[in-house]
Structures are given as structure tokens and as C-alpha cells.
Amino acid sequence: MRIATIHPVTKADLQELLTLERASFPHPWSEEHILNEIDSPHSFPHLARREDGSCAGYICPMLVLDEGQILNVAVQPSCRGKGIGRMLLEAALELFRKKGATVVHLEVRPTNATAISLYTRCGFITSGRRKAYYENGEDAILMKLELRIQKEEHHAV
């Protein structure tokens, strides 16, 4: 499976995102929530499309001052295990670096071993735990990644 594009989400993508949310989460984001993220000046949701134009996954990063937050990541069930989540996460991290973020935070369910493995491989470390964070009473593992500041190198002539 090849990804043709990763691009910013628009309102035209709403129905695909709602379908993906329902396929991915027991308590999916509502239409209103997704629209709020699309319209927010602090959120930068991006969508991965396959070569055939279909939605493969999306990520919703948010930036406040110099701190990034990964609000949501979802990959189509038929596309999981093919590196799409990693591509989306790497695109979000690059966006954060370009916008001057120094740290990125996220929450993940302790039962989501696949996501925890991805985040760990990308350099995130466990930074805490929120008790009974999710609707079903499940805790949230807090993870963070310190971003290296990319400075231009200057060479003497």
C-alpha cells in the first residue's frame, strides 16, 4: 500500500474522518469536535490518502506556544501495521519543529500496546499517568518527546 499524500484536513474531509473515528474508537469524536479542530488556529489535523484517493488515516496535532500535543491518531483498520501511523506522527513532529515547539505531549491507553510501541520507537518517554482518564475508567499513560531545536549551521568562508 502506498500513500500518495499527507495533507491538511478540510471540511470536505469531514465524513471520511467521522467514518474513521467510528471504526477506530469506542468513543469517537463528534462532528462538532472535528469541525472545532479544523477551525482552531492551534490545531493542524492532517489526513493520509492512498494512491486511490481513499483515506488511510489522520492525526490531529495541536500547538500552544512552544508545546505540541498529539490529540488524536487514527488509521483505517485495513491499513494498520503498514507504517501509516508512523508517517503521520513524523509529519506532525516535523510540523512542530518548524513552528518552534520544544516538547510534544500525548495521552495513550495502557491497553493500546501498538500505539505505545510506535511512540516509544519515535522517542517518546513515559512522563506520568492520569487515573481514570477515559470514559470507561481506564487510566491514561502520559508520554512526552523533547524536540531538538534545528539551528542553521553557519560555515566560515
pLDDT at 149: 63
Q: Rounded to an integer, what distance in angstroms lies between the CA atom of residue 78 and that of residue 157? A: 54
Q: What are phi and psi for residue 29, nearest 5 degrees?
A: -65, 145
Q: What length is written for the chain?
A: 157
pLDDT classification of 68: cutoffs 50, 70, 90: very high
User: Superfamily assignment of 3-146 in CATH?
Assistant: Gcn5-related N-acetyltransferase (GNAT) (3.40.630.30)
- Please check whether residue 99 is in contact with residue 67, taking contact to mean a CB–CB distance below 8 angstroms: no
- Please check whether residue 24 is in contact with residue 77, taking contact to mean a CB–CB distance below 8 angstroms: yes
**Which candidate in 67, 90, 107, 138 is catalytic?**
107
Question: In the chain, what's the furthest Cα-to-Cα distance?
Answer: 62
Confirm whether 119 is a catalytic residue.
yes
Burial class, 123, CB count within 10 angstroms (exposed 0-12 / middle 13-18 / buried 19+): middle
**Which candidate in 21, 37, 58, 119 is catalytic?**
119
Distances in Å between the Cα of 55 and the Cα atoms of 18, 33, 47 are 11, 19, 7
The pLDDT tens digits for 108-126 are 999 999 999 999 999 999 9
Confirm whether 107 is a catalytic residue.
yes
The pLDDT tens digits for 25-61 are 988 999 999 999 999 999 999 999 999 999 999 999 9
pLDDT at 3: 78
Domain ranges of the chain: 3-146
Helix axes 84-98, 113-121, angle to 10 degrees: 50
Q: Rounded to an integer, what distance in angstroms lies between the CA atom of residue 97 and that of residue 102? A: 7
Q: Virtual CA dihedral for 62, 68, 74, 80, nearest 10 degrees?
A: 150
Q: Rounded to an integer, what distance in angstroms lies between the CA atom of residue 39 and that of residue 41? A: 6
Q: Rounded to an integer, what distance in angstroms lies between the CA atom of residue 34 and that of residue 47? A: 13
